């Protein structure tokens, strides 16, 4: 089947943007199906870096149609700024190559205000959100009080919903969180104006996808964040507010499960995590600093330094099961060059007992200790490698162990940030 779903297998920041950018030439449509602008995809093309937060990474390719689907929560201001940024870079964005689902929920100023005020109030117990209003927007979606993109085209509907929401939100902001209230008129005027600018982009994304499938076109589904930030399956409560797993491509874009084909999991050659939450293989030493600096591990959205650690294959096995992975794309293999020894976590031990998957209880997870295998490292740069045979033998051993332990074959190996710094072992679109 000529459709591919891209998902992260860790806590996000695995390098999904580069892989989507790499595969887009073979696709006709690129669909973003969940998350919000709390995610950022960093792309390096001909040495120039571009960061997309909402628009699918495929926008860098001419002749491709990019869809922001119903599962995404959209900050209209951020979307319009992103459109302007890309156009200023000479990357044309218009209603011809970008569509926004009429059913996508909108992030409102009160969502951002609540997000930031709640985190401040929690102090040391904060979750580590980006403060972009993602969680509160999803809350309103589930509470059936959300504002959708289509509401921007109906002034009376928009006004009514904002007024009703502000009654509750301003009470929470002023009485409970002790912050300033927000103005109805300012929000209404701003969103009505932005609605006029976004109106040409609105469409029925599910219908667009179905039409493309009927015509035999190839579709690339692009997820945000990673499996272990999934609201259901991640390290709750230190998770995101949506489902980054592959099944969310169906609910988040309006297609049936039989329309999904190749499920590719993006696995960084080591682990990183932004913000709070458990991290059993975290390195708080010189090796962790080496990986952090060499990998330039800073959040694309927040700029926060990422916590770094050894590759955790317990999490990778869980991701293979939760997503039904067809193949793996290994990213940032080049960052490990220069280390004399490389460790991989192949299991957990809890009071001498083997633990085969990540426990749901964070208290139980805290009692686990990683079981490591130590592999020889390799020297020299990998960025010039074009084939498997050009990789050092110890790098090949490292990759083979990933395949053996996860049970998932590797299809792509990234040895640098550029498009050309990639080794393709298997074509996910089935060429």
Which residues form the catalytic set? 13, 41
Whether 56 contacts 33, CB under 8 Å: no
Cα radius of gyration rounded to whole Å, the chain:
22
For 409: left if phi > 0, alpha if psi spans -120 to 50, otherwise beta; the answer is beta
Give which of 106, 284, 112, 322 is closest to 195, Cα–Cα.
Answer: 106
* One-letter-per-residue 3-state SS of 269-335: CCEEECCCCCCCCECCCHHHHHHHHHCCCECCCCCCECEEECEEHHHHHHHHHHHCCCEEEEECHHH
- Residue 274 in tokens: 């932004």
Reduce the DSSP state of residue 243 to 3 states and report it. coil
66 Cβ contact list (under 8 Å, min separation 6): 29, 30, 31, 32, 55, 56, 58, 59, 97, 98, 99
Whole-number Å distance between alpha carbons of 98 and 377: 44
Mark out the alpha helices in 123-154 (DSSP H runs). Answer: 134-142
Establish how many alpha carbons lie within 13 A of residue 32's alpha carbon, considering only the half-sphere containing its beta carbon.
32
Sequence-distant (6+) residues with CB within 8 A of 88 are none
Of 167, 127, 150, the C-alpha closest to 205 is 150
Strands 369-376 and 341-350 come out as: antiparallel
CA distances from 134 to 37, 71, 185, 239, 354 (A): 8, 12, 23, 12, 37
Closest by CA to 36, choosing from 215, 242, 272, is 242
Sign of the torsion angle spanned by Cα atoms 143, 231, 169, 78: negative
Q: Locate 154 and state its tokens.
A: 């109906």
For residues 220 and 27, the answer to whether their CB atoms sit within 8 Å is: yes
> What is the distance between the alpha carbons of residues 344 and 194, in angstroms, rounded to a whole number?
48
| Alpha-carbon distance values, 227 to 12, 108, 171, 260, 430 (Å) | 8, 26, 35, 18, 25
């Amino acid at each position: 089947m000529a459709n591919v779903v891209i998902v992260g297998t860790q806590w996000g920041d695995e390098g999904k943007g580069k892989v989507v950018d790499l595969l887009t030439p073979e696709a006709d449509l690129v669909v973003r199906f969940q998350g919000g602008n709390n995610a950022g995809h960093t792309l390096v093309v001909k040495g120039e870096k571009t960061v997309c937060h909402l628009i699918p990474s495929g926008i860098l390719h001419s002749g491709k149609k990019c869809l922001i689907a119903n599962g995404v929560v959209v900050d209209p201001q951020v979307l319009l700024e992103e459109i302007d940024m890309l156009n200023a870079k000479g990357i044309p964005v218009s209603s011809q190559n970008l569509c926004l689902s009429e059913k996508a929920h909108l992030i409102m100023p009160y969502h951002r205000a609540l997000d930031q005020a709640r985190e401040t109030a929690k102090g040391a117990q904060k979750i580590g959100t980006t403060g972009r209003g993602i969680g509160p927007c999803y809350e309103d979606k589930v509470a059936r009080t959300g504002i959708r993109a289509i509401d921007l085209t109906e002034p009376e509907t928009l006004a009514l919903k904002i007024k009703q929401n502000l009654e509750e939100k301003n009470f929470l902001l002023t009485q409970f969180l002790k912050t300033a209230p927000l103005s109805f008129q300012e929000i209404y005027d701003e969103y009505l104006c932005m609605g006029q600018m976004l109106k040409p982009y609105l469409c029925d994304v599910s219908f667009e996808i179905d039409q493309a499938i009927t015509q035999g076109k190839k579709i690339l589904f692009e997820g945000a964040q990673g499996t272990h930030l999934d609201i259901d399956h991640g390290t709750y409560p230190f998770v995101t507010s949506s489902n980054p797993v592959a099944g969310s491509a169906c609910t988040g874009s309006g297609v049936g499960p039989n329309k999904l084909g190749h499920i590719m999991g993006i696995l960084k050659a080591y682990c990183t995590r932004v913000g709070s939450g458990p991290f059993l293989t975290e390195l708080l030493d010189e090796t962790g600093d080496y990986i952090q600096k060499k990998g330039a591990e800073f959040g694309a959205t927040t700029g926060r330094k990422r916590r770094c650690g050894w590759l955790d294959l317990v999490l990778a096995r869980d991701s293979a099961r939760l997503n039904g992975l067809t193949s793996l794309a290994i990213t940032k293999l080049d960052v490990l060059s220069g280390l004399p020894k490389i460790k991989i976590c192949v299991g957990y031990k809890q009071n001498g007992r083997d633990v085969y998957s990540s426990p749901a209880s964070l208290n139980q997870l805290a009692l686990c200790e990683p079981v490591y295998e130590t592999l020889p490292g390799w020297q020299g740069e990998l960025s010039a490698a074009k084939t498997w045979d050009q990789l050092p033998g110890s790098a090949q051993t490292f990759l083979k162990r990933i395949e053996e332990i996860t049970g998932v074959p590797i299809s792509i190996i990234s040895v640098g940030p550029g498009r050309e710094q990639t080794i393709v072992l298997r074509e996910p679109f089935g060429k």
